[in-house]
Chains A and B, each alone.
Chain A
Amino acid sequence: MSKENWILLLFILLLLGIPLTESRFYVFMGTDILILGLFAVSLNILLGYTGLVSFGHATYFGIGAYTCALLMKKASVPFPLALAAAAALGAVSALVIGFFCVRLTKVYFAMLTLAFSQIVWAMAFKWNSLTGGDNGFVGVPFPEFLDSRERFYYFTLGVVAVSLFLLHKVVNSPFGRILTTIRENPERTEFIGIHVKLFQLVAFMISGVFAAMAGALFGIFNHSVFPDILFWPASAEVLIMTLLGGIYSFFGPVVGAAVLLFVRMQVTSYTEHWPVILGFTLAFLLFFFPGGIMGFLQARFARPGGNR
């Protein structure tokens, strides 16, 4: 097995072992990291692989969270069905929003994703009767067969592992290669006969589906859903996570999520000035480590003819 696969196996064993430490806290952190890691990887499909900067990715996370939670609480829909519905709605909204966004490029693309995310946020914030408005939505029921923290952790691990496996297949498929070609040079790709906008839209939808699933898991995990997860700093936060981990690496965003959550938790225990530390870290990253953590590690330990 290659070196990378050994490391992966090690990680998986580590993750499987976390509940055995009997620490409610580690299980809590672990679940959080897995969910946000999936969210960040879904963003990276757009960012790292297709070269599209979305400033509104929190939209799909939020849609997934609200859909799943609302269906389970208000309509007593069983969890697997609610989860599927969340993913489906994520796909549909990504299709609609993406359709308009991919017609633009660069800054305008980013601004439109931001505009749409604010619209969805405003809807969640104001639609008191459906979403609970600014109070959010508390008392999301835990699915019965998952009613312990540890079981939910294993379930999340399973879902995230399967999702990452699927996404990995996607990015290493011919479709995935076309995406990276588009990222490198959209005009040239258009010349060789690829319908660039269509591919971008499909990438948009795929990332929307998995972001929605992450959101659905999050809603259950948190027992509550608030409109803040749709507010634009949430989109900025997942961008930072992805960048921190490394946008040119598949697992980079997961690493970024883990590091960010861990550091934030540590720092907030000592000081209330977390935002300034985040700001400096981000600036530092942008100037000196554009490839993120994984980029840095890969450069350090690169083999000749290195790969991804």
Chain B
Amino acid sequence: MKRFLRIASLCSLVLVFAFSAYGAGEPIKVGFPAILSGGGALFGQPASVGAEMFVREFNAKGGAMGRPIELIIRDCGNTPEEATRVAREIILKEKVDFLVGGFTASQGVALSEVAKTEKVIYIAPVSKTTAMTDPGKLHPYVFRAAANTNTEGRSAAVFMAKHPWTKIATLGPDYEYGQMVTKAFVEWMKKIKPEAQIVHQAWPKLGETDYTPFIAPLLAAKPDAAFLSLWGGHFVTFSKQAKPYGFFEKVKVVAAGEGGSPETGMALKDDLPLGITTNAYDVFYYPDTPEHKSYVERLKAYTKQEYPPSWAITGYISVQFLAEAIQKAKSTDKMKVIKALEGLTINTPIGKQTMRAKDHQATRGQVWGTTAKVPEYPFPILRPVEYIPADDLMD
């Protein structure tokens, strides 16, 4: 085993030397730490696939200034500690100047720190917490292509306020993301509908396997509606456990955390609660624009999946921002690329996105809709569905 490793590392050294002696057409290396293991892999893996697809298409068109982009994808684990270590290894070993990746809110904060000390440009495709871009935490090297917790929480409040519900409960995972998005929801709710009351707040830990001790107290407070912020597998578990209590009939739910993703619909199938309002980053059936349709077809072909994953778009757009910024700056000099990124508007498959100069956040809205069973697909989807833009809700 050791011998194999020694030979393998020797070979890799040779390859590295060979590559670096290449000269012009030398690839632009972009580190991509992604969650490829554990609970977050459900979303981390498609995100990296989306990035890969973009890079392939971009390089086929000639790359930036004739140079192809090379993605260095590594498993960053589920914790910020691992993400930090992996990111630093990539930066120091592969000598990358650009980093795209991380997943959970804590990882976003951690990688932002790494970007600051190692002075590399970091674009966060998924981490939503506003803590990364708040004044005092913001620094020139960090950018966010994801939506932020303000946008998400407030969009949910907007939906909630459309209905005559006044007694509201919240249930969210007790960590950075859950706390921030719930806070955004509650504050906006108080602002746009002062008569609404928060009658109960439940805080299961992230990764809770048994939500039943939280369900009963919430139901006992007799709310009209609830704001949930569980995501991925956590949402799946919660739905299954809550269903027999008649939870979704008793309480109207507005859920952040991308419960409307086709991935979740396919995992839950008949157990997905119908009639709840939730969101997703991208759904393959909306919008009907030519760019989006083409993107979905390409994604289908690339992933060989009938119903392509919704998380791929996060990796896709993030790398797109970076690639086009490099093109605009006509250089890989970090300062120039930063300037190019600020205020950059790109045409993504879901429409135009702009990276705001003032706080390095993209005007990333999300798709919101109501879950329903439809004859066209073997799993529930969002119908009706609309895109809520972020512009007014971000600050």
A and B touch in the complex (CB under 8 A): yes
A136 to chain B, nearest CB (A): 6
B89 to chain A, nearest CB (A): 6
| Cross-chain contact of B75 among A136, A222, A231, A272 (Cβ < 8 A) | A272
**A265 & B93 in contact (Cβ 8 Å cutoff):** yes
B355 to chain A, nearest CB (A): 23
A228, A266, A281 pick with most chain B CB within 10 angstroms: A228
Whether A134 sits at the interface, judged by CB under 8 Å, is: yes
Can you give 5 contacting A-B residue pairs, CB < 8 Å? Answer: A135-B175, A222-B85, A272-B37, A272-B74, A274-B75
Whether A188 sits at the interface, judged by CB under 8 Å, is: no
Judged by DSSP, the binding face of A is helix
Q: Which residues of A contact B85 (CB under 8 A)?
A: 222
Q: Which residues of B contact A263 (CB under 8 A)?
A: 5
**B5 & A267 in contact (Cβ 8 Å cutoff):** yes
B37, B105, B113, B114 pick with most chain A CB within 10 angstroms: B113
Whether B36 sits at the interface, judged by CB under 8 Å, is: yes
Total interface residues in chain B, CB < 8 Å: 33
Whether A138 sits at the interface, judged by CB under 8 Å, is: yes
A25, A136, A229 pick with most chain B CB within 10 angstroms: A136
A65 to chain B, nearest CB (A): 11
**B80 & A25 in contact (Cβ 8 Å cutoff):** no
Q: Which residues of A contact B81 (CB under 8 A)?
A: 136, 226, 228-229
Whether B293 sits at the interface, judged by CB under 8 Å, is: no
Whether B280 sits at the interface, judged by CB under 8 Å, is: no
Known A268-B74, A268-B75, A270-B8; contact A28-B92, beta-carbon cutoff 8 A: yes
Per-position 1/0 for B103-128, Cβ under 8 A of A: 00110011011101100000000000
Closest to B6 in A: A266
Q: Which residues of B contact A24 (CB under 8 A)?
A: 92
Q: Which residues of B contact A265 (CB under 8 A)?
A: 89, 93
Whether A224 sits at the interface, judged by CB under 8 Å, is: yes
Q: Which residues of A contact B116 (CB under 8 A)?
A: 139
Interface residues of B in 181-225 (CB under 8 A from A): 206
Q: Which residues of B contact A133 (CB under 8 A)?
A: 175-176
A259 to chain B, nearest CB (A): 9
A32 to chain B, nearest CB (A): 8
**B88 & A28 in contact (Cβ 8 Å cutoff):** yes
Known A269-B12, A272-B37; contact A136-B93, beta-carbon cutoff 8 A: no
Whether B86 sits at the interface, judged by CB under 8 Å, is: yes
**A135 & B131 in contact (Cβ 8 Å cutoff):** yes
Chain B residues in contact with chain A, CB under 8 A? 1, 5, 8-9, 12, 36-37, 74-75, 79-82, 84-86, 88-89, 92-93, 105-106, 109-110, 112-114, 116-117, 131, 175-176, 206
**B12 & A135 in contact (Cβ 8 Å cutoff):** no
**A266 & B9 in contact (Cβ 8 Å cutoff):** yes
Known A133-B176, A265-B89, A266-B5; contact A228-B75, beta-carbon cutoff 8 A: no
| Cross-chain contact of B79 among A139, A228, A266 (Cβ < 8 A) | A228
Whether A223 sits at the interface, judged by CB under 8 Å, is: yes
**Complex alpha-carbon distance, A275 and B8, angstroms:** 19
Interface residues of A in 1-45 (CB under 8 A from B): 24-25, 28
Q: Which residues of B contact A226 (CB under 8 A)?
A: 79-81, 84, 106, 110
**Complex alpha-carbon distance, A226 and B110, angstroms:** 9
Additional pairs, 9, CB under 8 Å, beyond known A139-B116, A268-B86, A272-B36: A28-B92, A135-B109, A138-B112, A138-B113, A223-B113, A224-B113, A228-B81, A228-B82, A265-B93
Q: Which residues of A contact B117 (CB under 8 A)?
A: 223
**B113 & A135 in contact (Cβ 8 Å cutoff):** no
Per-position 1/0 for A138-159, Cβ under 8 A of B: 1100000000000000000000
**Complex alpha-carbon distance, A24 and B206, angstroms:** 36
B178 to chain A, nearest CB (A): 10
**Complex alpha-carbon distance, A275 and B77, angstroms:** 11
Q: Which 7 A-B pairs have the closest CB atoms?
A: A228-B81, A138-B113, A25-B92, A226-B81, A228-B79, A272-B75, A134-B175
A267 to chain B, nearest CB (A): 7
